[in-house]
Amino acid sequence: MHNRRNNMDSKAKDFTGSIKKIIKYNRPFIVLIIIALILSFAASILSIVGPDKLKDITNTIQEGIMTGIDLEKIKNIGLLLAIMYGFSAIFNYLQGFIMTIVNNKFQLMMRSDIDKKINRLPLSYFDKTTVGDILSRITNDVDTIGWTMNQSLSGLVSSLTTLLGALFMMFYTNWILALISVFSSLFGFMFVTIILVKSQKYFNEVQDSLGDINGHIEEVFSSHNIIKVYNAEEETNKEFDKINKRLFENGRKSQFLSGLMHPLMGFIGNFGYVLVCVVGAILVINNTISFGVIVAFMIYIRLFTQPLMNIAQSLTGFQSAAAAGERVFEFLEEKEMDDESNLKEKLEINDAKGNIEFKNVSFGYNSDKLIIKNFDAKIPCNSKIAIVGPTGAGKTTIVNLLMKFYNINSGDIIIDGHSINKLTRENVHELFNMVLQDTWIFNGTIKENIKYNKKHITDDEIINACKNVGLHHFIKTLPKGYDTIISDVDTLSSGEKQLLTIARAMISDKPYLILDEATSNVDTRTEELVARAMDKLAKDKTSFIIAHRLSTIKNADMILVINNGNIVEQGNHEELLKKKGFYADLYNSQFEEIK
């Protein structure tokens, strides 16, 4: 029992906490929101006063039956009602217009903050989070919060105003009928509160399931060819059905429980309506009230119960918003990369000579498991360094540390006399050109892809780079040549995409070059052409080459052989073969005949 109470308290805190964060996030629009809520309040007040005027019309007609109907008085009251309801409609329109502006600006600001947040998150976050889940937070969750603001917030204020106003007018008109209406509605509101607490966890699970299903779909579509090749459709469909069924169950439970609130309040309202009619009739017979009071109360009881149903509906929307807000703000509150605003030291590109030194570097993606242990190496300027070793030895990890994608646990990396810990990430990235085995193709023309984020690059430089990597002939066969629009989903081969990324690197003049399996997706003939181009590219630069094809790094000035995060051998190709050690075994194994 105690644990259940704690769980309910925890859910309530999550709900209120998320709503508070959403309200806090809307501070820039607080003036517009207040204006909209005042308009909603004014429109509700005008609607509340109306029944009292209808009571006057009814009483006038009743009195007129015995004497004579005062048509002038009825006309004046009717005209006043028309003016009041007209202003109420105008206020409601203005309130809706303002809230639409606030809602769209809120979503614009939130998505912008998410976009900026993505660039401040460490790579470790993306290692453990699917792309689909992040996309779900940007699209589904933000849309849910925006929809709630637009539909539920103003409706909640209008309903509360109408509820309190109707309550005041009921007691002002007749306290006996007012008490009957209030007590009949209290029972319904108690049930609504219980349902609200019970259903919140399912709304949270719905948003989580949406993130899971988006992540699964993104993964499936990005590797659709692999699924086809391995006939994994059935297994993939089973996984999708599993996530989809979980989403269905959570959605069914959340909507069922929240859906109970509206009919429940409708039943309570109708029950109160019947009680008012019965008791009111008795009071009229006893000459305690006039017939017009009953007419007014018939409308007031609706004005009193309808807001309760609207509040119940608004609370359902707030439950979805709270669940979505929890995911969005969880993302916005994720731990960011270390703040580097205090780092004033900078290494200019023109001052970089190309000397790099690893000093007793240790690193692990998890603090309890080190991948790189006490790594030491001195890299002279303008040298071609090859890093080889078995899969998982730590080759790419060394490059990630060199690019400052991850911070080292201990030790230091010295770049031309500057500690990497004293240089900003942006400064480090300015010094390096990088080509990975994963291709980076963006939606745009071939020319734009090669020129990406580089100014003052001429068409001749782009063409020369493509000629150097053997891509010029292929591009000329395309319908619009260098102006052909491509994207990562186009039917370009892996080798053609890789050549594009290599050409992109060739037009940047930076002192350091990193090639991580850059020729892994090209054929042997193209590889030789690219290798010659890379020799031109690496001229007067310090270059790091990671390759599994050891034949491509024979001309390296130094080969670092990595195993279990440490350098086990180093030297040039001929020296390492003569040692007949770990490198020689790796090299010879590539030419052994498979028996």
Tens digit of pLDDT for each residue in 56-78?
555 555 555 445 555 566 667 67
Q: What percent of the chain has pLDDT over 90?
A: 0
Question: Quick one: pLDDT at residue 23?
Answer: 66
- Domain 2-332, CATH homologous superfamily name and number: ABC transporter type 1, transmembrane domain (1.20.1560.10)
Radius of gyration of the chain (CA): 36
Amino acid of residue 61: I
Task: Tell me whether domains 2-332 and 354-589 share a fold.
Answer: no
Tens digit of pLDDT for each residue in 22-55?
666 666 666 776 776 676 666 666 555 555 555 5
Question: Quick one: pLDDT at residue 9?
Answer: 46
SS (H, E, C) 310-367: HHHHHHHHHHHHHHHHHHHHHHHCCCCCCCCCCCCCCCCHHHCCCCEEEEEEEECCEC
What does pTM read for this prediction?
0.62
CATH topology of domain 354-589: Rossmann fold (3.40.50)
Beta carbons within 8 Å of 101's beta carbon, 6+ residues apart = 32
Asked if residue 513 lies in contact with residue 538, where contact means CB atoms within 8 angstroms, the answer is yes
Tens digit of pLDDT for each residue in 207-225?
778 778 877 777 777 666 6
**Which position has the higher pLDDT, 356 or 21?**
356
Domain ranges of the chain: 2-332, 354-589
Per-residue pLDDT band for 595 (boundaries 50, 70, 90) equals: very low
Tens digit of pLDDT for each residue in 288-302?
777 677 777 777 777
Asked if residue 60 lies in contact with residue 69, where contact means CB atoms within 8 angstroms, the answer is yes
Query: What's the mean pLDDT in 540-565?
Result: 78
| C-alpha to C-alpha distance for 512 and 245, rounded to whole angstroms | 51
Token digits of residue 499: 């050549």
Tens digit of pLDDT for each residue in 245-275?
888 888 888 778 777 776 777 777 777 777 7
